[in-house]
Chain A
């Protein structure tokens, strides 16, 4: 079916080569594998040792990756430039952009106020839902090139390989591969979570594949990206009045709650990194949601001057 593998001479190296080939879900050359095993008992022994040893190491690697950060992906140095640099680059893009946008008068800006949702139906059947306090810009000549200026949006994209759908956010580009995905721009980080299909994060540089049930978090200036698991049913849960978390820091949750409900929610430094697990229902308004968050997490909740503040328990 395929070319015969180049088999190295050393038995361990041969065993490694077979572990790789047999380990592929598509592998279907059992006769050739059997012939190699039958050549010498040392072959079977080496194969068993390598296959089980490798599986154990992979198990340990997978189990170690702390949730929610399953796989740190190193980033090329130029991507690590601090956000100050990024902002400069963005403003350059904007200056160039202004000229071309002027020649394209239909360039549209969509904006929602705090606590308001809005949906955009595109001509190709794709749909974008905007969370509160969100702004996105659509170039008049291309509905499939969206810029998320701030906030959060859920994209249900009609896939077209000839015309990829892309979202740019804080200098990064996300391209769809047939998809429902959610993008959030936080104060100093971008999060992308995928419910269906997949997206490619920065296809021309980092090219990280984010598949269903995964989320990627890019902290500005960080040397690595975080890839984590996310409950598929929870992606874009804010559109159905619920937010679900599997270890996200409290500051992220506070930002999500403020965006969804249109109230200021701040977190004391001592509680900002507390991991949150569970589902938070958004019904009943801020007056009941924020205190519920306090009970759920065992943090102190204070309401003063129209803003909510979460702090560590006394």
Chain B
């Protein structure tokens, strides 16, 4: 797959939803103050949004984000043609979360709906899939909603200090539609031999996400800058120079290393780690939506990487986007 380009689709809007409840890494009971301060300094993460009721479904967050997106774009539910849900924390795999949400949101029968099992690279993978589906539809004016995100805290073991201080709960809903003259460029890669870097461990106490921080760092530094450089060298002619580089919010150490390796100016690389932590596949649209003004036009480089080990970058022209402020709900 690797390099690919899509014509005729654009990102029209973004809305995000997070639990109102926040946890503070300074309050972690397993670490001393000096360790906590070092953790915050080097990961960049102070606060994490965490659901209070672990049994609550990520579906509630997706519904909130989609309602806000439809309101922001003034889209009627009947106008939706594609619904994609990128998540790894659906409460039950059957039926798909996309079908559940299709029913509960009252979308029309003509809308196709399915899930994509993907984590930190999921926004870019979802964008590529949704874009392809829209481009394949045999009419103008078609619309897609791409939802990305997880309740990662449902997979976080209380005492795992390699995972708990990093991950945060949250989702984003992204509206896409046909638009003549728009182009998007992608570089999608998989390094499956790195599958053990982030995995799910089944134990008597539950299913817990495990992460080998050093291997994640190694894979990110080894593969992500090359992925981005290959994409930019091929497609970022002068007129397509990125105005912003939005990386998956892994942690500050990784993200700064990628920024340096790619040669991106710090002022063009926003992060939302301090307030929002690592929100898996929602981290790119969330960070972008917190840092981009509605009327601004320009090319943006998105790069997602993580569980898999999966790496996906996209170079996208943003023009006429409507961004909603994040919704915070009691959940």
Q: Are A and B subunits of one complex?
A: no
Interface residues of B (CB under 8 A from A): none
